[in-house]
Amino acid sequence: MDRTYRVMVIDDEESARNLMKAAFDWESLGMEVVGEAASGIEAINTIDEIKPDIAFVDISMPFMDGIEFTKLATERYPNLIIIIMTAIDQFEYARKCVSLPVFDYMLKPVVRTEVTEVLERAGNKLAGMDDFWEAIADKDGATEGDNPTESIKKYVKENFTDPKLNLAFIAQNFGFSASYLSRKFKADTGKNFVEYLTDIRMTKAIGFARSGYKMYQTASAVGIPDPNYFGRCFKKYTGKKYSEYGL
């Protein structure tokens, strides 16, 4: 069955993200931009919610660059189509990705016709993979085995400081697909995995804020080392800026 493919843009330059969102007729390509991130860390922390089929990834970003993000993302999402974006003076650096399953490389500033051609090829590849992955979903749901939820909750409480911790990481370590584990975790706990992890991290962060920790110290201590992304998470969770919380 035809579906709209989901695109994520990961770039620390807001202008570059806005250009990618506005420059293409996504609907005619059978795609939509469903999310963006300003760093690799932010992308790793939100990718479970966004569930992209295609990710445009800038090679040079703070806290976690495009190469490190690509390594993590392709380990956990082997069918995610990654398109690396790089300036010409970073091209040799980008060649470090050649051993990774990168779909294509695009030079910045991007050329619309070239990106459109790459997106058309990506769409064709995704269409060919869809039947294979419904098959996988049926297989995953056929046998539940023992209930892993309590073990997963314990693992998260003990390892929430790891910035690489997300649903895909847990699923890989416990032997489930991310989609199946997501459904089961929500059914067993009433919360999705991201909500559960965020509750733990932000509860700890509130304690650090009340103790006078600097925001960058707290961000690192709770597994979100990008302080800008941490600040947005904290405000969304508490309704206050980190600097206001201890006042």
Site of tokens 């919380």? 245
Q: Any idea which of 20-34, 119-133, 166-180, 214-228 has the lowest mean pLDDT?
A: 119-133
pLDDT of 164-216, one tens digit each?
888 888 887 777 777 788 888 999 999 999 999 999 999 999 999 988 899 99
* Structural domains of the chain in order of their starting residue, each with its CATH number: 5-139 (3.40.50.2300), 149-245 (1.10.10.60)
Evaluate if residue 22 carries a pLDDT over 50: yes
Distance CA 196, CA 187 (A): 13
Angle between helices 40-50 and 193-210 (to 10 degrees): 140
Tell which wins on pLDDT, 96 or 158: 158
Of the two residues 158 and 128, the one the predictor is more confident about is: 158
Produce one character per residue of 174-206: b if its CB has 16 or more CB atoms within 10 Å, e if not.
eebbbbbbbebbeeeeeebbbebbbebbbebbb
Instruction: Give the 3-state secondary structure of residue 83.
Output: strand
Instruction: Write out the two tokens for 186.
Output: 């929500």
Average pLDDT over residues 220-243: 92
Backbone phi, psi, residue 6, to 5°: -100, 130
Write out pLDDT tens, residues 62-113. 888 888 898 888 888 878 999 988 876 666 666 666 567 788 888 888 889 9
DSSP state of 96: G
For the chain, what is the mean pLDDT? Answer: 85
Q: Are 7 and 50 in contact (CB under 8 A)?
A: no
* Residue listed under structure tokens 């006078």: 212
How many CA atoms, within 13 angstroms, populate the side-chain half-sphere of residue 141?
11
Give strand pairing partners of 104.
83
Range 223-231 average pLDDT: 91
